[in-house]
Structure 1
Amino acid sequence: MSYDPNKYHRKSIRLKGYDYSQAGLYFITICVQHKKCLFGEIIDGEMILNDSGKMVYNEWIKTAERFANVQLHEFIVMPNHFHSIMEIVGGTLVVAQNTVDQNGIDQNGIDDFETGQPQGIAPTTKPKTVGDIVGAFQSIVTVEYIRGVNQLGWQQFRGKLLPTELL
């Protein structure tokens, strides 16, 4: 049976206009491309992770190290998908960095003219969203899985291992 994206396509249930960088709990489900069972199997009602499933598990743990304001709650790697409850704490993930004082001098003693910043405007960093966090995870897992295919003989796939689709 071949995969039909028109038949199996899910519409996003994300709220339009909602700021997914704000503090809160987020339930995430990510499915393996074409629902292939690549991460292990269920034996006697227990999920047994294979090597690629263990890699997914470990990379999700590292997400909290990569993003300081992320706390991981319950999560599980299943044969062909992944569930997690992730929390963004303390407001947005990245706080705008205000290094310029009222005189246009940054904390390093360099005036706005030298930095190229307009006078009185501090450099800012865009807050990371749930999509940014999940996208980073998907990318890292895909690269690591490809490494496993090439070096360890893991089952091949085409395209992105975990397509971008938040449920």
Structure 2
Amino acid sequence: MESIKFLEQTLQNLQKQKVERLQGHVPNDATAVVPTVPSQNPVINNNGDEPLLVNQQQQQQQGSLNVFETWTSPNVTISMCGTDAHISICSLKKPGLFTTICFILKNHNHDIVSAQISSDDAKTMYMIHVRMYKKAVEQIVLWINFEKLEN
């Protein structure tokens, strides 16, 4: 019974942390709420000098946490963290779809970092990495869903 109570308390603490992060307020001792378990696997270095875990802890202490958000519809998934967004679109072949997406992004002054387009006889998959804001995301989702209703 004590372990269940401990897990419930841990869950409440984590939920409280999540709400505080979403509201933009991160307490200084946020990393102290959940104990870390040492790993037996080697730590991967991101620059050869410091372990990746150390860099993540330093970023958390500096308050630079970004919230990861995801929007989905039947044929569009957009994942966003900070100003970086990854857009995945699966669509029937539609001439001008990629051009329209680029036009929307240009209207909002967003930069396409990379794009990958794959297709077969019936469908096209777009995977786009963009630096953007939520307004463009909403407009793209609305346009894709509107086109789906027309067909």
TM over 0.5: no
Q: Structure 1-normalised TM-score?
A: 0.26
Query: Structure 1 or 2: larger helix share?
Result: 2
Q: TM-score, normalised by structure 2?
A: 0.28
Higher relative contact order (CA 8 A, sep 6+): 1
Q: Which protein has the bigger strand share?
A: 2
